Amino acid sequence: MKKDFVTVIYDRKKEVAKTGRGKVEIRIYLGNGVRKYVTVSSCDPFEWKELQYSEELKTQVSIYRHVVEAMIKNGEELTIENIDLHIGKDTAKKKENRDMQKRKASKTGFIDFMIEQIAKEDIVAATQQRKRVTMDAMKRFGRLNSFADITPKNVKAFDDFLRTECNRTQPTIHNYHKILKMYTRLAAQMDYIPMDPYESPLCKFERGKYKVRRPLTEDELLVLRKQKMGEKEGRVRDLFVFCAYTGLAYVDSQNFDFETMTEIVNGQAYIDGKRVKTGCNFFTPILPPAMEVLKRYNYKLPHISNQKANDYLHVIEVLCKLHKPLTTHVARHSFATLALSYDIPIENVARMMGHTNIKTTQVYAKILKTTVERHSVNLATLIK
């Protein structure tokens, strides 16, 4: 097999665990254990997911790969000194490319740049929509249009705009910044702007805290399942129950196909699928209440918009006297806490739900009291 002398590595020095950010480096293997590392940037794990597929990074890897292949073809010794010499020769060409990029950038705006980059990305529709929402807010703000507008002062003003005129919560504002930062960083790497404004102390924004999730308990789910209701409310209730006993997000339930997405193992049916939101795989059991729903609808779930479903769920929460705000996503939360309450290992729950980071699953464990209470009783009986 042909050896790849040039690869990209992230967080080689394990800095993410300490600082939350790690270096993105190009590693050039020169033989006999000798390697040259070229630092590309520094980013957090979420940003790395976007950066690793960027055209800019692919271009840099291609340049170094071309240099190494040319050296091997010409019989040159692969040493750090020799490769530095070749890379130095390539500096003028890269400067010429950057100058050309700057000239191109001067003819377009920053938002146009974002649109162009998003079009190149291999992302699901839901992620594209979140990025469009951010751009819509930027357009309403009106001071982040050109590359010259991308300054720490204007980004700080955008933050103030989101808090006051848009009345967004802190976690939502953080997500706006997270998306905007992807492209300010890329623009800085491509020399469209002199610096990434988020490197300025003026743009160090807090992440904020999400509202405490209030999933349904097993008893509350039973009340919901037994409650008599009208046809429309019943269909929405059944969809909620299906999600609460499979862990599927509502959009994934609407894309569920029993014939192509299920697998039977030792008599138990599982859903083997991929999340619409993130593209991540999940493998989750169809628990008996969810299977009852499928049988009721001949294994083809009803289709209804998320908005309509949430409207009916507000009626259902009153009808069932649950005293908890119901939304379609509460069903997914309920599945996670239900699984954890039965001591399913958190790694398995993460796999069932299609979480890429176990920290996401740990959020549910934090709000779960029943397992703490049960384990505390067991501990108390052991310690005298």
Please indicate, yes or no, whether residues 226 and 335 belong to a single structural domain of this protein. yes
Please indicate, yes or no, whether residues 179 and 53 belong to a single structural domain of this protein. no
Please indicate, yes or no, whether residues 335 and 237 belong to a single structural domain of this protein. yes
Nearest CA-CA partner of 335 in 357, 364, 376 = 364
Size (the chain), residues: 384
Output Rg (C-alpha) for the chain, integer angstroms. Answer: 26
- At residue 366, what is the residue type? K
Please, are residues 361 and 370 in contact by the beta-carbon 8 Å criterion? no
CA distance 357 to 347: 10
208 is a domain residue = no
Domain containing residue 155: CATH number: 1.10.150
Please, are residues 138 and 158 in contact by the beta-carbon 8 Å criterion? yes
Please indicate, yes or no, whether residues 328 and 375 belong to a single structural domain of this protein. yes
Please indicate, yes or no, whether residues 95 and 117 belong to a single structural domain of this protein. no
Give Cβ neighbours of residue 133 (< 8 Å, ≥ 6 apart): none
Please indicate, yes or no, whether residues 376 and 273 belong to a single structural domain of this protein. yes
Number of domains in the chain: 3
pLDDT tens, the chain, 384 aa long: 346 788 899 999 888 887 788 899 998 888 777 788 888 888 888 788 878 888 778 888 888 888 888 888 888 888 878 777 776 655 445 555 555 555 455 456 899 999 988 988 877 777 888 899 999 999 999 999 988 899 999 999 999 999 888 777 888 898 999 999 999 999 888 888 888 999 888 898 877 665 666 899 999 999 999 999 999 999 999 999 999 999 999 999 999 999 999 999 999 999 999 988 777 899 999 999 999 999 999 999 999 998 899 999 999 999 999 989 999 999 999 999 898 888 888 888 889 998 877 777 777 666 555 555 555 455 556 665
- The 3-state secondary structure of 243-264 reads HHCCCCCHHHHHCCCHHHHEEE
CA distance 262 to 284: 10
213 is a domain residue = no
Q: Which of 180, 203, 226 is the last residue before a domain boundary?
A: 203
212 is a domain residue = no
Q: What is the largest CA-CA distance in the chain?
A: 81
Which residue's structure tokens are 């609407």?
A: 254
CA distance 190 to 99: 10
Please indicate, yes or no, whether residues 151 and 79 belong to a single structural domain of this protein. no
Token pair of 13, please? 């020095």
Residue 86: CB atoms within 10 A of its CB come to 15
